[in-house]
Amino acid sequence: MYISDVVGSLIGAFIEWGFLMAFLFNLVTHINKPDKRLVVLSLIMMLSYFLSGVLNLSSNIYLNWFYFDVITIAAIFIWIYCGRADSFCAIYYIVVGLFLNSLLMLSIFVDIVLVENRTPWILWSIYSFGVNIIDLMMIVALLTNKDFFKFAAVAKRFSSKATRRLPSA
């Protein structure tokens, strides 16, 4: 079972609203705190999802969303590198979520546009529910900044093993 166009557009509006509310919530709760990383990440996500509905980088909607996910991942990495922002829980969930969403967008683009498949199959259901569940996961991550799937713990474990293997100068 896949989600119809009408229900999909309503869910899309709800997701955009969710990212807007996550940004406003973080703006209000972090207004007097020196650490504004969650506010900046929420702003990046809110702008990305809003602009993906307004700007068309491609004539195909799936490719357009793929481009915006990749651009958003790049913007987050540039912000982390140039802004010298330390990593935090929500950033892992956002990057993993955007990466998974971009893979789903690209796979559905290949299936529908390049292969010209018109028969619903399991990929369509995985796409329909996967993208929306991942979007909700990213909104919850922005609101709570908690490591509920232990992504941050796994990433820190891998990064600590990688730094231990580097030869010291």
Flag whether 77 is in a domain.
yes
Position 134 scores a pLDDT of 97
How many distinct structural domains can be found in the chain? 1
Flag whether 119 is in a domain.
yes
Closest CA to 81 of 69, 91, 90: 91
Position 159 scores a pLDDT of 75
Phi, psi at 67, each rounded to 5°:
-60, -45
Position 69 scores a pLDDT of 97
The residue behind tokens 């993993």 is: 96
Position 163 scores a pLDDT of 59
List per-residue pLDDT tens for the chain, 169 residues long. 566 777 878 888 999 999 999 999 999 999 999 999 999 999 999 999 999 989 999 889 999 999 999 999 999 999 999 988 888 889 999 999 999 999 999 999 999 999 999 998 999 899 989 999 999 999 999 999 998 888 778 887 887 776 555 555 4
Flag whether 168 is in a domain.
no
Position 138 scores a pLDDT of 97
Flag whether 167 is in a domain.
no
Flag whether 90 is in a domain.
yes
Closest CA to 90 of 138, 136, 34, 29: 138
Position 157 scores a pLDDT of 82
Rounded Cα gap, residues 47 and 80, in angstroms: 17
The model's pTM: 0.87
Flag whether 105 is in a domain.
yes
Structural domain for 66, as ranges: 5-157
